[in-house]
Amino acid sequence: MPTSAAHRAALLAATAVLLAAGCSDGGDDATEPPKESGPSGRPALTAQKLSWAPCPPPSAAEGGGPAPSALPGGGAWQCSFLQTPLDWSEPDGETIELALIRAPARDASRRIGSLVFNFGGPGGSGVTGLPSFAGDYETLRGRYDLVSFDPRGVGRSDPVECLGDKELDAYYALDFTPDDAAEERTLSDAQKRYAAGCEKDSGPSLPHVGTENAARDMDLMRQVLGDEKLHYFGISYGTELGGVYAHLFPKNVGRAVFDAVIDPEAGVEDGALGQAKGFQLALDNFAQDCVDRGDECTLPGSTVAEIETFITDLLASLDKKPIPGIGDRELTQTQATNGIAQALYSKEFWTYLEQGLDAADGGDGALLLSLSDSMNGRSQNGSYSNIQAANAAINCVDFKERYTLGQAKERLGQFREASPVFGDFMGWSLAGCSQWPVQGAWEHPDVSAPGSAPILVVGNTGDPATPYEGARAMVNALGKGVGVELTYEGEGHGAYNGGSACVKKAVDAYLLDGKVPNSGTVCK
């Protein structure tokens, strides 16, 4: 299950049974790539000049839709391309293009530099994500050029592609929590077809889409942008990417913030188990809110346990018989589980989760299916972004573990104990890379960064996708004197955009003025 702030942007449109779009390319490139010259056929990559131009509409891989609207207060978003090696172990070899977007600083006389964002996933498009959250970062734009990008394999940056849109409709409607040997074979065959499709359409790129290569891309980006240090804001998976960057280039870290923090010590199994617990905690809090509102809540039950029994019963009934969804598409158990999880990314969307569950109980699966579509990157016109394909490709090339369906099945007990609603789904997900054609790199990433500047690590106690414990683990793994822990006692995925003035003040003070808060500070 991806852990991306971009999912929250998609939710805004999903509540209207539409999907959020963003910015980028639907056809011709906005800029020409750097001209090749010299004996090797191109100039040194660090000397390339970026040609910024108005941003075109998003590509299909980025989710489609219109070009980004004007910046707050006027002005246009600017897009460009960065050339980077396909394989950083062969820096003089073949190159690929990374799509970039920026909003220039409002006060050029007090400009600090560029502030580079990664909004998570892995697989989320930064070129569409940054405009989606533009208003939240206006204070930071006072002194920074806000910059984001589509990481390699994502969006317009040599995107990983696996299956066509109709094939993806069928794939995402499958039962990902098989109940018998026949359903297990069906799932295994589908995973094999998916992996084979990825290899057929994106094979040469698949070994090179991992996080370490993406971190090296960011250091090249830093140099080409003209910054001595990388000032960075990483959210969700972006915290893992930032941690790997800090490990590789500790002396190049400027002012950096990690929000919605992934536990860098967790492997595939521990990470999935942590997410099962995190989403269950968020669902508990949603159900408690429903109980507290009494008759205002439309869901049956007067206790948390009764409401969650209603939800598990609903999912069990969908496992046996899907209900009408959108057009000729039905709502299956898998899609309903996806939709519930998607709505738990932000407390703002609890009301839509309540409405979707109530409607599904009455036989109308449209809202939950729309929420699931936003998780999977499906637009209203039936086309898919490549967020899930990129998510699979990056995770599978990063992590060594390869669980078979049988091995996943053996571990279901602990997952069901962690979450009656999400346990089966997360437990079976362990086998997601079982058919992948490329080997993985690590058991977990190394983020130790001795000599780095302080990195502000922000954990949210109610975060479903990146449980709060990951923040403390990141602080410890970064090393003494590097990680600075800030806690937000709130709900939703991430803290900076969670509505806490305390969090915003602390983060802004660090990024704008270099004021490091005391480690252990708690915001409510």
Give me the active site residues, please: 236, 463, 493
Q: Which helix (H) or strand (E) holds 457?
A: strand 455-462
Residue 148 near residue 77, CB atoms below 8 Å:
no
Return all residues near 424 (Cβ < 8 A) that are at least 6 apart: 177, 412, 415, 416
Residues in the chain: 524
The two structure tokens encoding residue 399: 């992590």
The two structure tokens encoding residue 177: 């929590």
Residue 7 to residue 2: CA distance in whole angstroms: 9
How many angstroms from the chain centroid is the CA of residue 294?
Answer: 34
DSSP-assigned states of every residue in 99-134: EEEEE--S-GGG--EEEEEE-EETT--HHHHHHHTG
Return all residues near 293 (Cβ < 8 A) that are at least 6 apart: none
What are φ and ψ of residue 460, in 5° steps?
-110, 125
Residue 257 to residue 88: CA distance in whole angstroms: 26
Residue 35 near residue 152, CB atoms below 8 Å:
no
Give me the torsion for CA of 151, 153, 159, 161, rounded to 10°: -150
Residue 147 to residue 129: CA distance in whole angstroms: 11
- Sign (positive/negative) of CA torsion 328, 333, 334, 338? positive
Q: What share of the chain is helix, strand, coil (3-state, %, to 5)?
A: 45, 15, 40
Strand pairing of 144-149 and 95-103?
antiparallel
3-state SS track over 341-368: HHHCCCHHHHHHHHHHHHHHHCCCCHHH
